[in-house]
Amino acid sequence: MTMPWNRQRSDSKAEQDYGDSLKLLPLWSIILAILLFVGSQYFFDSGPPPHRRPGSLPMHLIMGYMTSAALASYVLLIGYVSRDVRRRNMQAALWILLTVVIPGGIGAVVYFLLRQPVLLRCPSCNTELAAGLHFCPQCRFQVAPVCGQCFRGVQITDAYCPRCGHKVSEDGGPARLHAYSDN
């Protein structure tokens, strides 16, 4: 049983990915979402109609806030899809249209279920690589650090392989992959 203080922090990579995902929101979608939120708040709070029942003001305010938040979130979702679809080399017009036209965010759910993985480029031969590969299949260029004993992926800052315990610095891998090591 591992104690909480002995566990390695694995959430730093997740936090980094989350921050990178927020950078995909284009400025136009952020501005449009803010304007839509403020405008719909103004629309809902523009004054009580004469036929409103007494005591319905809190419900009116809650519904106005929820509707404004849903519309603003939908615009941010469309902005995210518009950037992410280009990053994954997919047909941008088709997926943006599906996200906008299919109601209730179902188009975005379909996009997230069917989207392609992010493709990277090999620094040596410029071949498109799927994320998670350690070697380029065209030129055998090492694009990610691996353990010299079990040949599984390791982090660039690992001193020992987390799977087999092999000392990674003894492997003599490319110097560019050992830039952060202390040895």
157 has a pLDDT exceeding 80: no
Give the phi and the psi of residue 121 in degrees, each rounded to 5: -110, 140
Whether the full predicted model's pTM is greater than 0.75, yes or no, is no
Q: How confident is the model over 15-30, as pLDDT tens digits?
A: 445 556 778 899 999 9
CA-based nearest residue to 25, from 91, 98, 77, 87: 77
Please give the full DSSP string across 29-94, using - where no structure is assigned.
Answer: HHHHHHHHHHHHHHHHTS---TTPPTT-HHHHHHHHHHHHHHHHHHHHHHHHHHHHHHHTT--HHH
Average pLDDT for 148-171: 80
Q: How confident is the model over 29-49, as pLDDT tens digits?
A: 999 999 999 998 887 766 555
* Contacts for 30 with CB less than 8 Å, ≥ 6 apart: 76, 79
